[in-house]
Chain A
Amino acid sequence: MDSVSLEHVRDDAYAIPLDRLDVSEASRFQNDTIWPYFERLRKEDPVHYCNDSLFGPYWSVTKYRDIMAVDTNHKVFSSEVSSITIVERTEEDRNPMFIAMDPPKHDEQRKTVSPIVAPDNLAKLEGVIRSRVSAILDGLPRNETFNWVDRVSIELTTQMLATLFDFPFEDRRLLTYWSDVATTVPKAGQEIDSWEKRAAIMSECLAYFTRLWNERINTEPRSDLISMMAHSPATRNMAPREFLGNLILLIVGGNDTTRNSISGGVWFMNQNPDQMRKLRGNPALVPSAVSEIIRYQTPLSHMRRNALVDTTLGNKKIKAGDKVIMWYISGNRDDEVIENADSFIIDRKNPRQHISFGFGIHRCVGNRLAEMQIRILWEEILSRRLDVQVVGEPERVSSNFVHGYSALPVRVAA
């Protein structure tokens, strides 16, 4: 976007009457104009009530420390009411999943899956990730424009997910498809044009995984996610809707997030060549760069809670039943906590301090796996001296939840 348009957007962000400011509009995420709107809220109304939106009334929490306060206070701010996104879901069409549960049920289910992404298991996955990254990078076309999102970001994360599930490798693109459908809000004129259509596709997902479940429940426990869920006392008697819900959680959480950090990293390095030079000059900065990429991208823009009781946040009174949106994407640009928050700086002090994974008991269970994939990717890019040039504007996803890219046109020099 040119500087005249940016100027215009900034004027608009500050001209709208505060009580009419609705930061949930997906179009702004798609054209990447969200920033001055959140900046204004952080400055003028950090805990902001919007009384009318596509999603009904809701509170926006925009500053880092306030977001952390909500995220860690699960007794007041529940994950179990309706949905963990801004979209309302009814009891009938919701798929229960542990991200959208409170203790004690949340705790039992999370503990079932967390071993697969715990440090000792990750060490075992390092080798297979590195060989996959190598194969993908070595297979990239040279001197030819292609879509990094499809050839690398989606391919890598989907392969990873297929491994975690021990999902038939040749069918792995179904995981991408189901993940995309799961995060689609139905709209007339697109493939997913109704909640019924969406539900029908998700039923196919459930049927496929149920087949795998039935195969594995009768064999010795193995270290894939399906076998783990099929054998663990906390999850082996899950109702089908709950099984589907947890599958969706793992597919989206493990797929549509890391994918966008991978794409974002390439975009940010291209937009900040001094940072790329710094990284090439000192590959020991890769882990730090990985955290900065995840902060700067913020793959999930928000998470939602519902107040269970009347409470106060900032100087605002939140009523029991109110919908509260933690805008991670805003918190990660809070310069009261993060110095030069709007700049992409791969060797900043404390790069690991960001909100992209959330905090508290729901903190992203796969966070180390995400970091590992991105780290290995950049190690292999650097060791090959690959020069990945972005040759066109990125296309972003129209969503106020998934913050990501559908296309990133790049060219790799021979």
Chain B
Amino acid sequence: MPTVKFLEFDGSEHDIEVSAGTSVMRAAIDNGVPGIDGDCDGQCACATCHVFVDPAWLARTGERTVSEEELLSFASAAEPNSRLACQIKMTNALDGLVVRMPAGQH
């Protein structure tokens, strides 16, 4: 099964197996990875699953959706490599994906 490496803001690492088709947000919540809240349960309606995608992986996660772009524009620490984890669906091609959590979700 493909794996995602979640890096907490303080550097702690979590290597989580995520089956293809599951969102990165869902995997974090279901596996108790701290630093991702997912308040809207993956509906792209908040910005509390904000992650920084490792630049080497960013292009492979695909493009931000229109709503995602909008919501990220309000996130306090958004960067060019920011994405909402609920919009990244796991695939075998993303095996080894690395994402970093911000200091806090808002």
Contacts and interface: CB of A to CB of B under 8 A. Distances in A.
Interface string A116-137: 0111101100000000000000
Interface stretch (B10-18, B36-44, B53-61): B36-44
Nearest to B44: A72
Contacts of B104: 118-120, 122-123, 368
Given A72-B67, A119-B76, A361-B71, A368 B106 contact: yes
B103 A120 contact: yes
Interface stretch (A50-58, A82-90, A107-115, A305-313): A107-115
Interface string A96-116: 000000010001001100110
A110 B74 contact: yes
A117 B67 CA distance: 22
A68 B74 contact: no
A219 interface: no
A359 B67 CA distance: 12
Nearest to A368: B106
A interface, how many residues as a size bin?
A: 20 to 34
Interface of A is mostly: helix
Contacts, number: 60
Contacts of B103: 119-120, 123
B41 A119 contact: no
B73 A68 contact: no
A72 B76 contact: no
Nearest to A120: B103
Contacts of A114: 74, 76, 106
A272 interface: no
Interface in A331-370: 350, 352-353, 357, 359-361, 363, 367-368
Contacts of A361: 70-71, 74
Given A361-B71, A361-B74, A72 B106 contact: no
Nearest to A111: B74
A357 to B, nearest CB: 8
A71 interface: yes
B76 A359 contact: no
B24 to A, nearest CB: 17
